[in-house]
Chain A
């Protein structure tokens, strides 16, 4: 137990990213409001991004803007570069999902997933 806690303490950024992932997943499962579902999705993706970025950290590392004159340690630049791409991807997905929500609101006048389900099954 103490071993587990100390491991969690050492990997506190990884732990935080996992917590974010689970919070986002919880929001997606439990909330019926579509906007909240999308927020949950974004929190989830943020969790993954935090995990990715914190992978690149080295103890005492500097940002990787290289200056070869003095001998210092830099953090690993690859995860940061990947996540720059990842963030744009997440934004695009969110934009399109929100456009679909706008359309749904025009059709049904509500953003509640349960209510939309009820209205769909009611007239048939």
Chain B
């Protein structure tokens, strides 16, 4: 005696759907494999010699407090060094609100 949801599932499985599913899995495993290779090649996590830890971060940490007056360097970056990104962030929120209002009000 099959459970009804399994029977329903069996009814929905078609040849085309099966092929599509297999293709999807193959596609995903290729992507996953490439990304895993990418991870293995990346600079080691937490290594101070990584390209990321360069003069940019050094200046934020050394001069951030004196240049912007904020002891928290992250606040210094989001409100001063890269303030236009924050303006963009506020604009994204504003756009989303305007879009939601327009979308839900239209009939």
User: Interface on A for B, CB 8 Å cutoff?
Assistant: 3-4, 7-8, 10-15, 18, 21-22, 25-26, 29-30, 54-59, 61, 64-68, 73-74, 76-82, 84-85, 88-89, 92-93, 95-96, 99-100, 102-103
Contacts and interface: CB of A to CB of B under 8 A. Distances in A.
A70 to B, nearest CB: 14
Contact of A11 (B45, B48, B57, B61): B45
30 contacts: A8-B39, A11-B40, A11-B44, A11-B45, A14-B45, A18-B32, A25-B28, A29-B27, A30-B21, A56-B52, A59-B48, A65-B71, A66-B64, A66-B72, A77-B57, A77-B73, A78-B56, A78-B57, A78-B77, A81-B77, A84-B78, A85-B86, A88-B89, A89-B89, A92-B95, A93-B92, A93-B96, A96-B99, A96-B100, A99-B103
A99 B103 CA distance: 7
B78 A81 contact: yes
Interface of B: 21, 24, 27-28, 31-32, 35-36, 38-42, 44-48, 50, 52-53, 56-57, 60-61, 64-65, 71-74, 76-78, 82, 85-86, 88-89, 92-93, 95-97, 99-100, 103-104
